[in-house]
Structure 1
Amino acid sequence: MATANNILEGKYPAKAHARRVAQYLRSQGHAGSGLIYLEAQKTRMIEDNDEAMPFRQRRPFFYLSGCHLPDSYLIYDVHKDELTLFIPPIDPESVIWSGLPLSSSDALNTYDIDRALPTTDLNDTLASVASEYNGKATVFAINHQISETTSFNGFAETNRSSLMKAIDDTRVVKDDYEVALIRKANSISAKAHIEAIKASKTASSEREIEAAFIGTCIANGCREQSYHPIVACGENGATLHYGKNDDNLIDSTSKQRKKSVLIDAGGEYQTYASDITRVFPLSGKFAPETRSIYEIVLQMQVECIEMLKAGVQWEEVHSLAHRIAIRGLLKLGILRGTEDELFEKRVSVAFFPHGLGHYLGMDTHDTGGNPNYDDKDSMFRYLRVRGRLPAGSVVTVEPGIYFCRFIIAPFLESPELNKYIDAEVLEHYWSVGGVRIEDNVLVTNDGYDNLTTAPKTIEEVEALAA
């Protein structure tokens, strides 16, 4: 069986992606001659500065090219099955500062393309294609991603509404190369999580832990982060997307180190993301309350992952997570009542307010999930994925239990719902903040493949933190 590194020795499968997108367009009734047109992200300058902004390649362009170069273009001739990449020509003024750019021959050797031409040839090439098809071909492009200088004269029409959805839906199912990229991102990020836990032993603030994570990612090949890391100590962990990362690890009142740290962070490898969350104790041992919640969340995650296989209904997996949370919180005495009643009244949403996970790929919250944020049901409103999971999709499984005063307060103040929560028992758990455990999982025809290797059992985490 080929390893991730073996697979990544080959070229990014841009041509195969172009064919899949073209097939999707045909399935939607777009038959006949056609041309897919995409633009790379432009070089953008920082306002009032002569430096370029940090570059992030447009994902649709990368999906059909594998190319990181800014100011580039591509066309895919559906009928000829021909993929052409247009790259910036030599600019003598910039060579002084940046060196020679990629040549056409280099591009042919690097990318899975049929032709490499300078961007100065773009309009002439488009005109030639239009003439060849006698003006009967359609250009598929993305609205607001077409330069004013680009000319589609001679084509029958320019369809600006179908291509983005075609690419978004096609991206849901990953091929072996994409899975290898995500696996590589996870492997590097696992090392970074381990180093972050080790750094916490001597760290005095959240930012030192964040620095250990980012530094390890860069040293091992993930120069970019998939998203801004979350490093939340103590009650900061109750904020789902906490981003300050500058709090002290010492409690200002007790002068003791806070109980735990929640770190949600993932490196990006060659444009593909990882997204991993771990919680670890600052003292080397979980406090009893934190350990109790951790055990529940870990059980939520393990049982939900065991459900995964092609065709599973994601809403059912999410529902299982809530039922396990309810059973655990009942056992601790935080909740009162029966499991079914608490589930029907959606009381567990007070402690687990977000969706169980999301698709993962070139974006952290990847495309194709078809969420419904207008759903009136609070248990399902924030699901980023709806429906059945296909084989080849990569999904995060990230259950959590949080003690956020703002979210729980309405339940405590509700005449209908406050009887289900024991406020006296709850008082012992505010300092836990939040516990979330997140892995990235490939869905297969008969099961799953967990791509995340970062330690997560209580024994493993405590051993690293001790």
Structure 2
Amino acid sequence: MYFSKQDIDNRRARLAPKWNEVLTKGEAVLVYAGAPIQKPGGLDNTYTYLPHPSYYWLTGRRREEEVILYSVDTGWIEFQKVLGKETAFWEGEKQDVLVDTPGKSLVDLDAFLKQFTTVYKLGQTSDYKKEGKAFTLNTLLDQTRRVKDDAEIKLIRHIADIAVHGYKKIAEVLRPGITERDIQIAYEAEIFRNGAHTTPYDSIVGSGPNAAILHFAPSQRVVGEQELVLVDAGADIYDYCVDITRTFISSGEMESRQKALYQLVKLVQDSCTKMTKPGVYWRDVHNKAAALFTEGLLHLGILKGNLSDLIAQEVVYMFFPHGLGHLVGLRVRDTGQEENLHPKTYFGARLRVDIQLEPGHLITMEPGMYFIKPLLEDEDNKKKFKECINWEELNHWMNIGGVRIEDNLLLTDSGNDNLTAAIPKISI
């Protein structure tokens, strides 16, 4: 199995002292696993069940409707669901218990709670609010599980190795005449053959101008000669995952503008990867990327004017409209940063995380440059950046699409470890 009882005990031991500073005697915390969600009009048909990641992280169990309780008085107690005969008849014995630990029956929960004066509800529950002590407890839980333990890192490395097979398969099959959907099928079939359970998000495949659409769903568009093809696709085992992007050329070598765009994105990724280490604020890494992109666009003649003025005007948002990365690992967005109630924007982008990096954090590094027609052809944007963008030169770039390169960086004591480095990139 992927996790042991010792792994689970260690996680709880990391969290309990933090909660003990907040909780008083007579108070308890519940973390709910959640229940399946019915499909609209689906009668008894539900979406594939996913346990709340906080419950799963604390228990190693993926069984619906369960709860784990913690209090200063009792320590950790699991309230578990016993599978009935009907479930066994329809679905068989589920493979939803990765770590089998002793617990009480779920039917005993209500009676057990009567001894507590206050109960705080976390996990998948409608009672949770972003305020008060419950919010503080949830923040401490999120901050604790952001730091990946050895078992989690081992599993994520294994998943990254699976993704290598998928990206190598793309390189084998990619050619003019293939469709975006063909590329998706080739990738996903290969990672499934090599042990992935599913994909952590809908695979993105955009060719030619479609590569400029950030979350493009692969279509029946036929890939043309010498086109950029952007693939953003991951792999998943029991909700742990990697999130990777590579940009390919469909045939031959890149022409000069394609090559210049790819080199700029690669330069930004390399520079920002070197900067990514404990103690650094993620917003500073994002801002470094934005400044380098601004300088690169000015060098290419797409922007015009004074570099410092262009940086101050944040014109780079027109070509780099998203954050540089996000936490990843247990789900594709991992913990996010729920405690940041008033997120700021940097160069037009709202960062999913605005934190100081620590050893054990796992974050994506995904700079990208795109020529997004809805942004660039918007009349308000054209008026706002009339003097910043060389619109005549821009016309030569509009159909290139875009380039994104994405890796997953594990923060270490001395810097970072690229867990997805084995997935090839274009050598230019």
The equivalences for 1:196-345 within 5 A come to: 196-201=170-175, 204-243=178-217, 245-250=218-223, 256-257=224-225, 259-345=227-313
Shift of 1:379: 0.4
SS of aligned partner of 2:122: coil
Inter-CA distance 159–389: structure 2 relative to 1 (3 Å threshold): closer
The equivalences for 1:42-441 within 5 A come to: 42-46=35-39, 47-89=41-83, 91-100=84-93, 110-111=98-99, 113=101, 115-126=102-113, 130=115, 135=116, 138-142=118-122, 145=125, 160-201=134-175, 204-243=178-217, 245-250=218-223, 256-257=224-225, 259-369=227-337, 375=344, 379=347, 381-410=349-378, 414=382, 417-441=385-409
Does the 8 Å CA contact 2:287/2:346 hold for their aligned counterparts?
A: no
- The number of aligned residues is 422
State which structure, 1 or 2, has the greater radius of gyration over its C-alpha atoms: 1
Inter-CA distance 413–171: structure 2 relative to 1 (3 Å threshold): closer
SS of aligned partner of 2:31: strand
Inter-CA distance 212–20: structure 2 relative to 1 (3 Å threshold): same
Does the 8 Å CA contact 1:197/1:209 hold for their aligned counterparts?
A: no
Does the 8 Å CA contact 1:171/1:368 hold for their aligned counterparts?
A: no
The answer for unaligned runs of 5 or more in structure 2 is: none
Instruction: State how far apart, in whole Å, the 2-side matches of 1:404 and 1:159 are.
Output: 44
Which residue identity is paired with 2:54? P
Instruction: State how far apart, in whole Å, the 1-side matches of 2:120 and 2:383 are.
Output: 56
Inter-CA distance 40–312: structure 2 relative to 1 (3 Å threshold): same
1:35 aligns with 2:28: yes
Residue-by-residue CA offset, 1:111-147 (whole Å, 9 max, x unaligned): 263x2344334345445xx2xxxx55x4332287279
Does the 8 Å CA contact 1:318/1:356 hold for their aligned counterparts?
A: yes
Inter-CA distance 450–33: structure 2 relative to 1 (3 Å threshold): farther
Inter-CA distance 205–282: structure 2 relative to 1 (3 Å threshold): same
Instruction: State how far apart, in whole Å, the 2-side matches of 1:12 and 1:426 are.
Output: 58
Inter-CA distance 79–315: structure 2 relative to 1 (3 Å threshold): same
**For residue 155 of structure 1, what is the aligned residue in structure 2?**
none
The answer for unaligned runs of 5 or more in structure 1 is: 1-6, 148-157, 251-255
TM normalised by structure 1 equals 0.81
Shift of 1:70: 2.0
TM normalised by structure 2 equals 0.88
1:24 aligns with 2:23: no
Identity of aligned residues (%): 30
Inter-CA distance 380–60: structure 2 relative to 1 (3 Å threshold): same
Does the 8 Å CA contact 2:54/2:123 hold for their aligned counterparts?
A: no
Shift of 1:210: 0.8
SS of aligned partner of 1:396: strand
SS of aligned partner of 1:419: coil
Does the 8 Å CA contact 2:268/2:367 hold for their aligned counterparts?
A: yes
Inter-CA distance 18–328: structure 2 relative to 1 (3 Å threshold): same
Shift of 1:246: 0.9
Inter-CA distance 407–170: structure 2 relative to 1 (3 Å threshold): same
Shift of 1:355: 0.9
SS of aligned partner of 2:350: coil
Instruction: State how far apart, in whole Å, the 1-side matches of 2:396 and 2:409 are.
Output: 34
